[in-house]
Structure 1
Amino acid sequence: MKYKIKEQKNVSVINLEGNIMGGPDALLLNELLHGLVKEGKKKIVLDMSAVKLMNSSGLGMLIAALTTVRHASGNLKLAGVSKKIENLFIITKLINVFEQYKTVKQAVDSY
């Protein structure tokens, strides 16, 4: 998994690319989010439009990310989730846990 961070309207947008499969990626995302929260950045959007695959460990990674941000009184929203990954959210009943938007712009504007 690769990532890039950019700021839009006081929102940190993290563009994720590749596969989200947990393991070392989970540690990387966790450290990244802790760093953002420590800097006072509590409005976060994960742009998942370039994510190809995700497994159950990847889902756990996203849940941990959401928990980290919410414990800091922030919020994390998802954008650009593919149909395949959205089906994974539906099957696991996590569809109602994450705020999801079709585009990054919609997610950013929702703040």
Structure 2
Amino acid sequence: MKVHQRQEGEITVLDLEGRITIGEGDVILRDSIQGLLQSGHQKILLNMARIAYMDSSGVGELLGVFQSVTSHGGKLKLLNISTKIKDLLQITQLLSVFEYFNDEQKALNSFVS
């Protein structure tokens, strides 16, 4: 998995690309989030438009980084999740845990409100 980082004001957007599975993408995501938290970034938006696949390990990793951000007083939200990933989160009853958006501007604005 590849992670491209960009800033939109106080919000850090991570554009993710590839797969989030055990051994592929999970450690990269965790390390990226930990680095942001250590640097004082607390508003994080994960753009998942280019995530081709995510398995149950990926779901676990997503939940883990969400909990990590939350425990540091931050907010983590999802952008552009595919139907398959949305279904996976719904099946695991985790969809309600995450705030998710299909429009980047609405997602960015949600950090302010």
- TM-score normalized by the length of structure 2: 0.93
Q: Distance in 2 between matches of 1:68 and 1:30?
A: 9
Residues 77-108 of structure 1, C-alpha deviations (whole Å, 9 max, x = no match): 00000111111111111110011011222211
1:109 aligns with 2:109: yes
- Superposition map of 1:1-111 within 5 A: 1-111=1-111
What's the CA shift for 1:25? Answer: 2.1
4+ residue runs over 6 A deviation: none
- Is the contact between residue 45 and residue 104 of structure 1 (CA under 8 Å) also seen in structure 2? no
Which range is displaced more, 18-27 or 34-43?
18-27
Q: Distance in 2 between matches of 1:22 and 1:73?
A: 27
Q: Distance in 1 between matches of 2:22 and 2:64?
A: 11
Unmatched runs of 5 consecutive residues or more in structure 2: none
Identity %: 35
Could you say what secondary structure the match of 2:93 adopts? coil
Q: How many residues align?
A: 111
Instruction: Tell me the amino acid that sits aligned with residue 7 of structure 2.
Output: E
Coordinate RMSD, CA, aligned: 1.0
What's the CA shift for 1:56? Answer: 0.0
Unmatched runs of 5 consecutive residues or more in structure 1: none
- TM-score normalized by the length of structure 1: 0.94
Could you say what secondary structure the match of 1:28 adopts? helix
Q: Distance in 1 between matches of 2:83 and 2:25?
A: 22
- Is the contact between residue 19 and residue 25 of structure 2 (CA under 8 Å) also seen in structure 1? no
What's the CA shift for 1:12? Answer: 0.3
